Structure 1
Amino acid sequence: MRETGYVVSVQKEMAKVQIQRHAACGDCGACQIGQEKMTMEALVENLISAKIGDRVEIETETVNILKASFIIYAFPLISFIVGTVLGYQIAISMGYDHPANFIAFGSGILFTILSYLVVKFNEKRFVKDKAYRPTILRIIEN
């Protein structure tokens, strides 16, 4: 996925790029939403030495966007479903026929919370992983 934006700050081999937000953008975590709803800022690799004010083209591999989307959206959903099914099966096996639905729902919520904690505790690992980091491809204008 390619986007264009303006470099707003530079530190060593990284740059903060302000990008115009599109309706198709989600909150996957690859970018940080800016103060205004229609802009966001992304921390990107600056291997071509772009400077503040440069208009640049950045790219994130589509496969990595899909992986990040799975981690943020599908993993908690799958955890909720697994937790609900397990909670229901355990409640039924223990003889709790009537409150089994409530137990299943509570178990699903617990598994969802645990999935978000797993994602949160692994966030630093994802941030350090260069595969998920956008890269400046070229300077469009100085």
Structure 2
Amino acid sequence: MRQTGVVVSTNENIAILKMQRHSACGSCGGCGMGSENSKNMQIQAVNRIGATKGDFVEVDISTPNVLKAAAIAYVIPLMVLFVGIVISSKVLTAINYRSNVETMSAIIGAFLMSIAFMIIKKNEPKFKKSEEYTPVITNIVE
């Protein structure tokens, strides 16, 4: 996935870029936007080519990495929720839980999903350090 943006600031090999939000981008707030009205966003990108403040640059992140990041952020917690609900429902039924099994299963599933989100958040620095999911400045546009 290739986009363009303007370098706002640099720090060693990391640059902060101001970019227009891609039309496929949702409003999850992951980029720090949180508002549907704003069309601009700021992101961090690896700056191996020495772009400086004010440069108009191309930024690239490979599509498989975008899909992996989306799976980590969305699919894994959703699967944990689903599996938590199914397994807890079977366990509660097997032990003859006398209250509402469906409600308790939903609560257990939501609790397990929140743990999955916390684990992902705790490992976020490791993901950033690997630079696998970080955009890379590939070219300075004249």
Do they fold alike, i.e. is TM over 0.5? yes
2:12 paired with 1:6 = no
Q: How does 1:11-50 map to 2 (within 5 A)?
A: 11-26=11-26, 27=28, 29=30, 31-33=31-33, 37-50=38-51
Structure 2: stretches of 5+ with no match in the other structure: none
Which letter does structure 2 place at the counterpart of 1:62?
Answer: T
What is the CA-CA distance between 1:22 and the residue it aligns to? 2.3
Structure-1 separation of matches of 2:74 and 2:29: 8
Q: How does 1:89-128 map to 2 (within 5 A)?
A: 89-96=90-97, 99-128=100-129
What is the CA-CA distance between 1:13 and the residue it aligns to? 1.1
2:89 paired with 1:88 = yes
Give a deviation string over 1:46-92, Cα, whole Å, max 9, x none. 11111111100000011110010001111110010011011101110
Give a deviation string over 1:92-137, Cα, whole Å, max 9, x none. 0111265111111111111111111111111111111111111111
Identity rate, percent: 35
| TM-score normalised by the chain length of structure 2 | 0.91
Structure-2 separation of matches of 1:38 and 1:6: 14
Would you say the 8 A contact 1:127–1:133 is kept in 2? Answer: yes
Runs of 4+ in 1 over 2 A off after TM superposition: 26-29, 31-36
Would you say the 8 A contact 1:87–1:107 is kept in 2? Answer: yes
Aligned-residue CA RMSD (Å): 1.8
Structure-1 separation of matches of 2:134 and 2:33: 16
Number of equivalences = 140
Which letter does structure 2 place at the counterpart of 1:18?
Answer: K
Which letter does structure 2 place at the counterpart of 1:133?
Answer: T
Structure 1: stretches of 5+ with no match in the other structure: none
Structure-2 separation of matches of 1:96 and 1:41: 50
| TM-score normalised by the chain length of structure 1 | 0.91
Which letter does structure 1 place at the counterpart of 2:9?
Answer: S
